[in-house]
Structure formats: structure tokens, C-alpha cells
Structure 1
């Protein structure tokens, strides 16, 4: 065996198996068990030390035994060591242990005394490898039962949910420092109350001087009617805020002051003001806008009661 599996193969394999066993039986969370638990590291080092010591002792013993062999015994041992793996005593012994097969000459002793249309049956035992595998399955089932149904360790569903929750937190943390990649082509209308509230805060900080708090318009145009100078809809409003209005007389560009994802929020809030009918609004300017390429009409489609209520509540705050 040592000829085919030298020390530099045996020790790493055994060491890896020991690590796998530790990780399976010790719940260490997101860190390896040998890092989270120092006692595990100590056990691993002791295990490795014992393996190396045993190899050294066995090698020294073999050297002593070889020195005691006669010339004929030494030649016989060398001849056996040079045999192909499938002809070695080690391979044959293991195959015999795993299969317990009988020689062809012995099949007469195993033949059962019944005949099915010329088909006869041998009374062979189950191969030990199959039996051992069956016992291993039973042992695995017992360990699985204890680990997941008695000790309550996380199953695949729980692990997935935890990983997804951790990933969501990581994404939110990344967004805090990641470059903002929102642009006119990617922008979508936000309708969540939290996003609209954030947009309202930005609006009240930067926009009320020109458009009034209720969006009725002052220096800037009225934002509550259905007529737009540079086009309505989320994409046009987003682009107008980001790039600015008409040269020389329109709104300034805000992209150097407000990041694109916040411009998306304020643009969505501005659109939520549609149809709120503020007091003394500025006269409409620009052209009637119809979303999604629909034919424009002189009369704006009335906003739903829920939209009016939500926008009015925000404006009143």
C-alpha cells in the first residue's frame, strides 16, 4: 500500500478527511471550525503530529527488518514490489475482502439444486462492499436525523434564507458607497411611500423656490397640470432635472448636486403631484403630455382618488 500511496499522499488525504469530519459535526457558522474554535486547531496539529510520527517509526522499523533479510528474501521482496498494482498481494487481498468471490472451480459447491428452464443459481453471499455501503447509509441516516431533526442545525432552506438575507444587507451596504449608475434609459417610476417621502425631502430642499411647496409654480412652471415644456413622464422629468432645462432660461442642471438615484426619487415625487390642484396655480406652459405614446388630449386624465390623497397628504406634511 505504501508503494502506491506514499506518505505525501496519505497524510494530506487523512488530514482533509479529519477536517471534513470536524466541519460536519461542529456548527461554526460562516467561519471554519478550526479558526472559530482554537481547540479544534490544537487537535488538528496533534493529529498531524501523530501521523508524521507513525510514518517515521514505521519507516525506521521497515529499514531494520530489511537489514535482517537474507539475499533471497530481499530479492523476493523486490520482485513482489515490482509487480503491477492489479497483481500485487495488497490488491488481491482487498478484492477478496470486498467481494468474497469464489474461484470457478468452486462453483459446483455453490450451485443450488433447482433449475429454471436451464438457468441455475449460485448461492453466493452478498458482496461485503455492498453490505458495508448499506451499513454506511444507515449510519449516515442516523447522523442526519440527530444533526437536523434533534439538534436543529440549519437545513438547506434555512441556509439559503440566511445567505439571501446576508446578501441583501451586503447589497445595501454596497449601494451606500457604489457609484450611481442610474440614467434616463434605466430610470423607472417609484411608487413606494418611502421613496416618495425621500423625493419630497429633496424637493423641499432644492425646488420650492421656483416651483412652490405644492408644485403650483412660481418662477418655474406648474408641476401639477398635464402640460410640460420638455415632456412629461419619468424619463423626461428625470432627464430635465439631471441635465437642466432650456439653455439660458430654463432650470439649471442638478446632476452635480444630486446623485442620479435621488433625482429618480424627486422626479417620481414631482409626478405624484399630478392632478393635486394647488391653490392659485401658475398658468399651464408647454404641450399636453400623454404617457406611452398615446395621443395627447387637451384634458388631462383625472388622477385616481388614492393618488390624489397620497400626494395631498405629502404636500400637507
Structure 2
């Protein structure tokens, strides 16, 4: 009775788990994502473990029943792992201890004798493989000029740069600071002014005259003038420990380029309350 209950429970477990997994595979968009659906993986692992364990138990039971039947019939089975012992013996060709008298050499060093056992075939074959490998390596890298690890690295880096440049060329939305230029279009400056008023006017005032932050209308700059220096200052922030924060986590690179161009457009204007100059006078090269 107990056996039938166990078999019934096993069959029910397999069927229920199978249908639950099938349902999850059809319901979830990414059923194998362990972070989104860890229960799916737990159910799958549990299902596999139970099936494997059941098969192991069955094999053990069959093996035990066979042993009992052999004992009953008086059959002496072959020693376990006999095939493995035969395989190892064929791959060593070493004499057994009982046969060592046949290969003892006529050398005697204070009672220590020497055996003339042959080398294991696996060792000999591996030695031959090392010779073949050495010949191939010599021809490939020393005669035919094969790539060294450094050369392979340089080629991989060059290939990666080509792919990045190709991606940038085919993706107009990708911003490249190397191609940064001063924007003078009215729509760009209008967008830059809107960004400035929303994020920068609280420290520099709406007319750029400066308050907490420096005056943006004069010729003096703390971290350098010009579109690239201004962009870099807005993007990465001011001096360490003080000055403006980095805006690269808040603003898009395109908007930083536009607000930087707008800041430069404030040069030469007359604010209502101009803050004293800070930094050094900037002159375009």
C-alpha cells in the first residue's frame, strides 16, 4: 500500500509541476530571468532533482534485487568497476606486484632494486603531443609571423573603435563631444535659455550677472572659456569640493551643448547687477 501511495504522489507531483512550469512559460515575458522570476527556477530545479532522485532510487532498487537474485541462484557477479580496472591496466602496461620479478634489473643499491617498467602509454602520447604542439607553434609564430597577444589586443581595439565610429555615424542621436561646436541657431539658443532659466538662473541670475555663481557676461573664467571648456564645466561640474555640481546625470548632452552656447552668447551683455570678475581672462586661440 505504501508503495502505491509513493508512486501516486510522485506522478501527481510530476504532472502538477509540469503544468505549472508550462503555464509560467506562456504567461511570463521572460520566464528564465532569474531576477524577475526566481520561483520558476526553483520549481524547475526541484522538478529535475525529484525526477533524477527517483531514477537513482529505482536503479539502486534494481541493482539490489539483482544481487539478491544472484545470491539465491549462487551466481558470483563480476567485481564492481572491473571494466575500469581493465581500462587502467591497458593504459599503463605496468606489471602487477606478483609479476615484478620478471622485470627486476641487475642493479642493487644497498638493497634497493630497480624495475624496468615501460612508460605508461598515456604519458608517451602526451609527450608526443607536446612535440607536435611545439613544432606547430614554432612554424606559426616564429616562421609565419603569427599575431602575438599584444598584436591581437591592438587589432581588437582597432576593430572596436571602427564599430563605435560606425555606430555613431549611423546614429544621429548619439552625441560626440569631439564634434562639439558653438551653436548659433535661434532655436538652439532658445532651448538653451529655457534650460538656463530652469536650472542655472538661481545661482547665476537670469541675466547671467552672477550671484552664488560667477558672472557669465565678462571675459573672465574660472575653468576656461570657449564652448568646449564651458560644456565640460557644465557636464562634469566645477572644482572638486566646491563650485557647481555636475549636470550630466540631470541634463542630456544635447541640452548641455545648447545651454553652454547660450552662456557664451551672454558675453558682452550688461546685467543689472554684475558680480566682480573671477578667474582669468580668456582669449580664443
Fold match by TM threshold 0.5: no
TM-score, length basis structure 1: 0.35
TM-score, length basis structure 2: 0.39
